[in-house]
Structure 1
Amino acid sequence: MKTGILCAAILMAAPLFAATAFASEPENDETAKPETAETAEVDAAKDAKAEEKRICRRVRVDASSRRGTKVCKTADEWREFNQRR
């Protein structure tokens, strides 16, 4: 019984050891892409977009329903959404 549990624990832990072994291997310099101005701009735009805080609210789809649908938008998007109403 104890040996069965020990074998199961070793089999479950084996992928963890393999993943750490592959993660510690160095990258090839040939496969690494040099950073250009375009990729830097794209990364900066993604970071700026990720920093915008999302505000989630429940919005009723129709007047007859009590149930609301969860909608997440930025503050500017909510402002635009409320002006349309």
Structure 2
Amino acid sequence: MKTAGQNPSAGITGTAQRTVSKGGYVGVLASKFYAGYKRHGEHVNITWDAATVTITDQAGTTIATYPKPTQRRGWHGPNEAQASTKS
């Protein structure tokens, strides 16, 4: 079970550190946010409040700002199909 410190979606405001994926995305708040594919492997800081999510690099320069998601969005978007339970 994750604690509040391990689960960055807990709370209205917060921060997290992530590594940018090969495709240029970082995941937080059960959603993905684009930071730029050229930043692959870089560590970025993510902060959020009640309305926005902000991605900054290690120097503190803002990379991107997004509206805070109101519902869970998976890696394949908000209309992501549920996994089949049939085999």
TM category (shorter chain) comes to: under 0.3
Compare the two structures and name the one with the higher helix fraction.
1
- In the superposition, the TM-score normalised over structure 1's length comes to 0.22
Flag the structure with larger Rg.
Answer: 1
- In the superposition, the TM-score normalised over structure 2's length comes to 0.22
Q: Which has the higher contact order (CA 8 A, sep 6+)?
A: 2
